[in-house]
Amino acid sequence: MSMTSRRSFLCTSAAAALGAAHPLLWAQNKEPIRIGILIPLTGATSQFGATMSRAAQIAAEEINAAGGVNGRRVEVVIEDDQSNPEAAVRAARKLIDVDRVVAIGGSYASSVTSAIAPLCWESRTVLATASGADSITKLPHQGYVFRTSPTVTLQGTRVGDLGVELGCKKMFFLGPQTPFAQSYIDIISGIFSRAGGAGAGLIYEDKKSSYRSEVDQALRTKPDVIVLGGYVPDTSVVLKDLYRAGYDGKRIGFSFGINQKLVEAVPAEVGEGAYSLVPSAAVAAGAYKRLVAKMKIDALDSYSCQVYDHVNLVALALASAPSGEANGTTVRDNLRGVSQSPQGKVVDNAADGLKLLSAGGRINFDGASGPLDFADNGDVKGVFFRYEQIQKGKLAVTKVA
């Protein structure tokens, strides 16, 4: 294990400056409120790790600049899950048992989330996740799991619909074993079947240097569209093998497999024309615009926006609690009250939210990733997608819907 993958990043944000500016405020309770952020800084799913980390830090800085939560500053403790369930379990145990976090946010890969979810609900720690596998919110999580990302069912449905819209009749799915691979095959094949076409799929072994045999098996079915269900490392290999095999049909992938990192990993001719489906951030929202400006970038992925929202949701939930207690159960019981209250005033930042709550008001927080209304099982409602295509070596948005 490398030093990078082993280390923990502790972010006190603006705490030092605030300690000087507000000594009486922080003196009320020197113990900070800790929020864990478990994200892939290394490994196959690490393409969003760095921006997820920075987004979490910015959220904590903003909360602390507004006075913290009930006079206590917020710290985000960032751990690398290494894109690996076993490493994630070790990191989650550390966050829960050593750091005593009230919640864990981030949790991107579905295999990681599935592994750590039991630790969270058993310890009464809220888990805010950016994972998509439907199975996650079907677990007996006792209300401690909140998902801010669209489910596999919704993503698979949108990909299937896109394939049909592009005029394709025969679909073949290629992807590694994940908690959602077979679901994607079933969902997308069903859409093609109902449209008068057909679908099939193959789940392959991850981390191979070549997938030519799997590609040959797929091409024997004569598909006019191949859906790529892997992450960047294996998707880049599959795309190269498809190119070498002379495949000229459509290729559609997901944001975790076809993204800027993929564009940079393959020759331009290999990725040209491939489509990608990306959960869309709330690009017109004030929260999104401010976050992008603070990160000094032109655009930001939805997953990093979700991590930003995770930190804000936890802090606002705690600030709204009549008991003033800072623990996972308090977060669970008050989170919907600050994110989807019909009587609440819509706010898009921690400062306004904390000010209203301290005055006895009610709020409805809409974040950088969009509105945050949750179903009873913890799934977020009303998500949008950005449809992208690789054109001349760059990702171009074709529509948002």
C-alpha distances (whole Å) from 210 to each of 153, 162, 346 are 29, 28, 51
Question: Can you give the pLDDT at residue 11?
Answer: 44
Per DSSP bridges, beta strands 33-39 and 8-11 are: unpaired
Tell me the two tokens of residue 363. Answer: 């709020």
pLDDT in tens, 98-133: 999 999 999 999 999 999 999 999 999 999 999 999
How is residue 48 written in tokens?
């969003």
- Distance CA(390)–CA(249), nearest Å, equals 14
| pLDDT, position 12 | 40
User: Could you say which DSSP state residue 280 is in?
Assistant: P
- Using the predicted structure, report yes or no on whether residue 27 has a pLDDT greater than 60: no
CA distance 294 to 220: 50
> Tokens 């004030």, residue?
286
Collapsing DSSP states into helix, strand and coil, what is residue 30? coil
Please check the confidence at residue 17 and state whether its pLDDT lies above 60: no
Nearest to 271 by CA among 242, 298, 294: 242
Bigger pLDDT: 307 vs 14? 307
Q: For the chain, what is the radius of gyration of the CA atoms?
A: 21
Question: For position 176, what pLDDT does the model report?
Answer: 97
* Mean predicted confidence (pLDDT) in 344-362: 97
Nearest to 175 by CA among 203, 155, 201, 195: 203
Nearest Cα residue to 33 out of 297, 306, 328: 328
CA distances for 98 relative to 7, 95, 176, 210, 267, angstroms = 15, 6, 34, 42, 45
Token output for 359: 């005055």
| pLDDT bracket for residue 38 (50, 70, 90) | very high
pLDDT tens per residue, range 281-321:
999 999 999 999 999 999 999 999 999 999 999 999 999 99
Model confidence over 215-258: pLDDT tens digits? 999 999 999 999 999 999 999 999 999 999 999 999 999 999 99
Per-residue pLDDT tens for 173-225?
A: 999 998 899 999 999 999 999 999 999 999 999 989 999 999 999 999 999 99
Maximum pairwise Cα distance, the chain? 72
Q: Is the pLDDT of residue 2 over 60?
A: no
Give the strand order in the sheet containing 363-367.
345-347, 363-367, 370-371
The whole-model pTM stands at: 0.86
Q: For the residues 16-44, what does the mean pLDDT come to?
A: 70
Percent of the chain at pLDDT > 70 equals: 93
Reduced to 3 states, what is the DSSP secondary structure of residue 327? Answer: coil
* pLDDT higher than 50, residue 96: yes
For residue 253, the model assigns a pLDDT of: 98
CA distance 11 to 32: 11
Per-residue confidence (pLDDT) for residue 5, from 0 to 100: 40
The single-letter code of the amino acid at 40 is P
**pLDDT grade, residue 32 (50/70/90)?**
very high
Spell out the SS3 assignment of 67-108. CCECCECEEEEEEECCCCHHHHHHHHHHHHHHCCCCEEEECC
Give the phi and the psi of residue 175 in degrees, each rounded to 5.
-165, 160
Where residue 382 falls among pLDDT bands split at 50, 70, 90? confident
- The chain-wide mean pLDDT, for the chain, equals 93
Q: Is residue 257 classed as helix, strand or coil in its secondary structure? A: coil
Q: What six digits make up the tokens of 192?
A: 């093609």
Question: What domains does the chain contain, in order, with CATH numbers?
Answer: 3-151+283-371 (3.40.50.2300), 152-280+384-400 (3.40.50.2300)
Name the one residue in this structure whose structure tokens are 């074993």: 177
Residue 273 CA to its chain's centroid (Å): 25
Q: Report which residue type is found at 386.
A: R
What pLDDT does 386 receive? 94
Tell me the per-residue pLDDT of 259-286, one tens digit each, with 9 for 90 and over: 999 999 999 999 999 999 999 999 999 9
Residues 22-28: what's their mean pLDDT?
44
Residue by residue, DSSP assigns 36-72 as: EEEE-SSSTTGGGHHHHHHHHHHHHHHHHHTT-BTTB
